[in-house]
Amino acid sequence: MAAEHVVIDLDEHGHEPAERSGITHGNVANRRNLLLALVAAFVIGVVLGGIGVGELRDSRAQRERSSVVSLVALPESGYSGGSNSRGTVVLDGQLTLINTGPAPITIRAVQAERPGVQVRGMDKARHVRPGGTGQIRVDLQLQCATAFDLEPLSVRFSVETEDKRLREVRYPVALVGSAWQEDAMRMCEPRLDS
């Protein structure tokens, strides 16, 4: 037998059956459509994920702003009477509050105590907008001999923030040189007519 040499000509086309050729072109088209669908789904996922992360970040920042409490407290003369009994003066005073925080707050309670000094809030809750001021009436009990220490009085505030949570905040209030000291000293001085 003679050896036959088989040569394959790679330049020739069209020796395949027509049905098989159509299936191959259909598979390529399906693969392209599938690839385009996957790329589109990926792009949509990235966009929606970016929007979601941005919203989450904004929401978290808003919650943080709502929970911040920053205030300044200043004693004001609201003298509306008082009494002096055995070296202890009882006065009705006022405390001016300035909300220096980014969100509105509601002051629920005011209290301070140290040897010679007691302060209690007398008002109902007071709402103070950001940058705004509010005044709270307080009941003061001051011992003439020991109340006016150079050390500021640490006043405790019970504050409700915009997120409806109750927080305790302390602020140092200087009594020396304050209107409260002036009012108390007038009552602490011995009267010449008695």
* Residue ranges covered by each domain of the chain: 19-67, 71-188
Better pLDDT: 128 or 60: 128
The predicted model scores a pTM of 0.63
Residues near 42 by beta carbon (within 8 Å), at least 6 away in sequence: none
Give the pLDDT mean for 111-131: 90
- Tell the residue number behind the tokens 């970040």, with chain if given: 57
Query: Residue 158's pLDDT is what?
Result: 93
Tokens standing for 176?
């020396």
Residues near 34 by beta carbon (within 8 Å), at least 6 away in sequence: none
Among the ranges given (24-33, 155-164, 176-185), the one the predictor scored with the smallest mean pLDDT: 24-33
Residues 158-174: tens digit of each pLDDT: 999 888 889 999 999 99
Calculate what percentage of the chain has a pLDDT beyond 70.
79
Query: Residue 118's pLDDT is what?
Result: 93
Among the ranges given (44-53, 60-69, 118-127), the one the predictor scored with the smallest mean pLDDT: 60-69
Measured CA angle at 180 (ends 78, 122), to 5 deg: 50
Q: Which of 181, 36, 46 is nearest to 117 (CA)?
A: 181
CB atoms inside a 10 Å sphere around CB 161 = 19
Query: Residue 23's pLDDT is what?
Result: 53
CATH code: domain 71-188 is 2.60.40
Q: Is the pLDDT of residue 184 over 90?
A: no
